[in-house]
Structure 1
C-alpha cells in the first residue's frame, strides 16, 4: 500500500478534488470508520412498519456518495485493517473488563471473586535463537563446553539479537528441529485447552469434596482466553480465570469458602501438568506424539491497585484486560513481525503443514476404499498452513464469563438507530435504562427491512484511497490514545489496550 508521501496518493487526492468527489469519499470513509478494505454492495432496501405495513424509508446504492454501499470488512487482524481490528480490540477489552470489574449488565460483585492470570506455552521442539534479559548473549557457552549437534552445527550462540531480528525464533539447527512435532502440537492445541478446562473443573470438584457432576451446584470456573504467537511460530495461551459460586446464582455469584486465589492457582498448576493428548498418527511410519503443554506455566493472582509492567508484582484487572485485547488482534503474520514473515523457519513450518496434508490425502483415498465414512483428522491442515497449523479461535470465553461480543455489536447498532431516530424527530434520547435496552437479549421488532443486495467487490477504488483511509484510521488511533491519557489519572492502566 503506498504511503501518503507517494506521488500516486497526492495525484489521486488532487484528482478527487478536481472532479468534486472528495467530499463523497470523505463521507464514505468516515461512515465505515476508515476501514482499509470495505466491502462494496449494490442494490436497494425498503424499511416497512411491521404493524401497519407503511413504508418508512427506502434506500438505493445508486444514491450513495460513491454509487455503492460500503460496509466495514470486520477483520480483527491489525495488519489487515487497523480500524476494524481496533474496534474488535475495544469490544474484547470491554468484554474482558466486564468479567473482572462488572458493568455491561454484569454485577459489580464479580470483582470480589478469585481471579487468576494464566499463561501456558508450547513445549520445546529444538533449541532456537532468542533475546535475553539485559541484552545478554543468545546461548552462551564456555569454550570448554561448546559441543556440536549430530549435523555438525554449534549448539551455542554468542550473539546478542534484537527483537524482530530474523534469527529470533529460528532453530540453531533446522535438521535437529522437530517440525512435524511442532505442527502436530499446533494442530491439536485447541484440544489441549479443552482438556485443560475439563481437568481444572475435575480438580476443583475434588478439592471441594463434591462429585464432578454436581460441581455446578457448588462452584463454576469462568474464563476469557486469547492465543498469541511466539517468535518461533508456536501458540501460547493467556487466560483470565475466575472462580464463581453455584451456576444458578448467576454471573459472578460469590465463590465458595474457603477457596481463594492461591488455592485456585495451585489447583491450576497441578491440572496443567496432568493434561495430555495422544495425537493420531500423521503418516504411515509416525511413532505417535503424546502432546502436553510446555514447562513454562505462569499462574498469577490478579489484585487491584498494582501494575502489570512489574513482572514480580500482582496484576491490575483493567490492564490485564487490555493486554488480552491487544493480542486478540494479532495472527501468525503480524506476530512474526514485518522482517520475519518470510524466514526459512516459518516457510518450513508452512511446508510441513502441506506435507502432512498430502499424507492425509493419500491415506483418505486408501481408507475410503473400505470405509466410505472415513474422516482423516489432518485432512484440513493444508488450509491452515498460513496460520502455521493453528486452527483455533484467537479469542474465546466461557459462556457465563461476561457479556458477549455479539451483544456489544448489537448494542452498537441499536445505539445508532436510537441516535438516528433522535436526529430525525428532534426528540432527546431517553437515557433511563439505556444500557439495559441496548444490551437486552430480545428486542421488540417494529420495522422490517426488505432488501436485495449483490456483492460488488472488496476494497477502495484505488490504492490511494486505501492509503488515505488507513492514515485516517491511524490518526484516530492516536487521538484515542491521547483521550485515554487525558481521561485516566493513571493512564498506564489502559495503555496496554490503546497501544
Structure 2
C-alpha cells in the first residue's frame, strides 16, 4: 500500500504530488474513483482489457456491449486477492474477515450450517515442532498482565544454568538475559553450528503429512472407544449402492499454521466432535451420548504421542529423518465454565494468523530460483540463510529414482511418497523455509467455504445499487498488467478505500450501540 508523501525528498514528493493534482483536476475524477472502487485499497491490482457484454436473462440476447477502451485508464481494475498482509494489507483484510467467518461458523453455525453445531464438543489444540537445538526464548512463568497482547510481565532468564558450560564449538551454552518481546535475538540459536537446520526444514516440509496421519489416529482412537462401549457403527449406503459401516463419531477440524520465530511451523487446530446420520452422511449431527469431550482430549494426546513419520531415504541421510510432534501439546476447551476461551476469541486468533507467512522470522521473499538463491542462502550465514541453504541442498536432483519411504503410524506401515525425489519440493518452497502447505485448512464438513463467501459478496455487490436481475454481465478479458499506473493514483485510490472502510466500521458500531440501547430499554 502506498505511503504518505515524504516531504524530505522534494523530487519524489513533487512528482507524486503532481500526479495527484493532475488526476484530481481531471473532469472524470469522481468517475475514476468509482471505477477503481473494486480494487481501491489493493497494493497491486490486476488490470484487464476486453469486452463487457450485458445479456438479457430471459432471451439470452446481447443487450449492450462495451470495450474497456471506453473506461477510465482503458482497463478494468481487479483486486489482487493476496492473503499475505505484508504483500497487500487491503486484500489481506478481506481474507481475514472471510477466515473469521469460516472458523466461527464451524463453532456457532450460520451461513447454511445448523445452530446445533454450537453444542458439539470442541477443543482448541496446539501442536508444536520438536527442538532442533537451543534457541533464545522468552518465558513468563506467572502472568500478572491484563492482556497477553500487551504483556509487560518480567520474563525468566533465557537459559540460566548453575554451571556456565560451553557447546562443542566453544560457545556459551547459557544465556541469563531476560529478553523483551521485541528482542531480535528471540528464536536465534545459541550456536548456529550445533543447530540441526536440515532436520528443521525436513520437519517443515513433512509436517502436513504428520498432521494428516495424526488426524486419522484421532478417528481410530474414537472408533476404538465406540467398540469398547458397545456403540454400534452406522450403516451407510453409498451413491454406488455399496454398504459401508462407519464409526458413529468423527472429528471435523479447522487448522491454521503459524511460523514461529525460530522458523518452525506449529499448528493451531479446532477439533469438533460430530456424529454420523445414516440417512444423510453429510448432515451435521451431534456425536453419540457415549462419546464426550474427555474422549476427544484423550484422542488428541494419544495421537500426538504415538504418530511419527519416517521420511524416504536421502543421499545425505540414507535412513531418513523422523518427523514427530514436540513435547508441548496444549489442549483447551472452548466456551467452558472458566470462560478463558470463547468462540469469538478463537476465531479472531486463527483469522489473524491466516494472513501471516514468514514475517515473524524476518524473512520475506518471493519464490527463489537458481538466479536468486545466492542472495539468501549461505551455509556459513545466519539462521535463516542456513535454513534456506538446507532447503536448496536437500532438494537437489538425486539419482534415487526408486526411493520410497515407509512411515510408522502407530504400528501401521505405508508408503509416504512414490515420487522419485520426494524432497524436490524443498527447492520450490525454499522461500517458505520448507513449508509448502496451506496456512488455513479445514475439513470439508467443518464449515462453509471461502468460495461461498466470495460468491455471496459478489452477488450482494451486483444487486446493491440495482435490484434488477433482468440482465447479467459477461466479460471476455485478458491480462494487461498489474499495479497502479503511478504513485499518485495509488495514493488517491487507497485513501478513498480507507475512508470507505472507516465509514463502514463506524456505521457497524453505531448500529450495535443502537441495538444495545434498545435491549437495555426493553
The TM tier, using the shorter chain, reads 0.7 to 0.9
Aligned mates of 1:269, 1:487 — CA distance in 2: 44
Structure 1's unaligned 5+ residue stretches are 308-312, 368-372, 426-445, 490-499
SS at match of 1:135: coil
Structure 2's unaligned 5+ residue stretches are 7-12, 141-152, 236-243, 367-375, 404-417, 514-522
Establish whether residue 348 from structure 1 lines up as the match of residue 386 from structure 2. Answer: yes
Q: Deviations over 1:32-63 (max 9, x none)?
A: 24111110001113232365232133232122
Call closer, same or farther: CA 1:271–1:484 in 2, change over 3 Å. Answer: farther
Please name the residue that 2:5 is paired with.
5
TM-score by length of 2: 0.79
Call closer, same or farther: CA 1:322–1:158 in 2, change over 3 Å. Answer: same
Establish whether residue 317 from structure 1 lines up as the match of residue 335 from structure 2. Answer: no
Establish whether residue 328 from structure 1 lines up as the match of residue 347 from structure 2. Answer: no
Please name the residue that 1:43 is paired with.
50
More deviation, 220-229/162-171: 162-171
Correspondent of 1:415 among 454, 460, 469: 460
- Matched positions, count: 453
Establish whether residue 123 from structure 1 lines up as the match of residue 130 from structure 2. Answer: yes
Aligned mates of 2:478, 2:28 — CA distance in 1: 24
TM-fit CA distance, 1:74: 0.7
TM-fit CA distance, 1:198: 0.6
SS at match of 1:363: coil
Contact in 1 for aligned 2:401/2:420 (Cα 8 Å): no
Contact in 2 for aligned 1:76/1:85 (Cα 8 Å): yes
TM-fit CA distance, 1:318: 1.6
Correspondent of 2:334 among 279, 299, 302: 302
Aligned mates of 2:26, 2:133 — CA distance in 1: 60
Correspondent of 1:456 among 455, 480, 484: 480
Establish whether residue 241 from structure 1 lines up as the match of residue 271 from structure 2. Answer: yes
SS at match of 2:211: helix
Aligned mates of 1:243, 1:80 — CA distance in 2: 36
Correspondent of 2:192 among 160, 171, 174: 174
Q: Deviations over 1:469-495 (max 9, x none)?
A: 445555566666656666668xxxxxx
Contact in 2 for aligned 1:224/1:398 (Cα 8 Å): yes
Call closer, same or farther: CA 1:23–1:480 in 2, change over 3 Å. Answer: closer
SS at match of 2:429: helix
Contact in 1 for aligned 2:256/2:353 (Cα 8 Å): yes
SS at match of 1:99: helix
TM-fit CA distance, 1:176: 0.5
Contact in 2 for aligned 1:110/1:252 (Cα 8 Å): yes
TM-fit CA distance, 1:348: 1.8
Correspondent of 1:230 among 240, 260, 275: 260
Contact in 1 for aligned 2:109/2:115 (Cα 8 Å): yes
Establish whether residue 98 from structure 1 lines up as the match of residue 105 from structure 2. Answer: yes
- Relative to total residues, which structure has the larger helix share, 1 or 2? 1
More deviation, 381-390/172-181: 381-390
Contact in 2 for aligned 1:82/1:474 (Cα 8 Å): no
Please name the residue that 2:218 is paired with.
200
Contact in 1 for aligned 2:234/2:248 (Cα 8 Å): no
TM-fit CA distance, 1:164: 3.6
Please name the residue that 2:75 is paired with.
68
TM-fit CA distance, 1:284: 4.0
Aligned mates of 2:20, 2:501 — CA distance in 1: 22
SS at match of 1:227: strand
Contact in 1 for aligned 2:2/2:494 (Cα 8 Å): no
Establish whether residue 381 from structure 1 lines up as the match of residue 426 from structure 2. Answer: yes
Aligned mates of 1:166, 1:319 — CA distance in 2: 28
SS at match of 1:174: coil
TM-fit CA distance, 1:184: 0.5
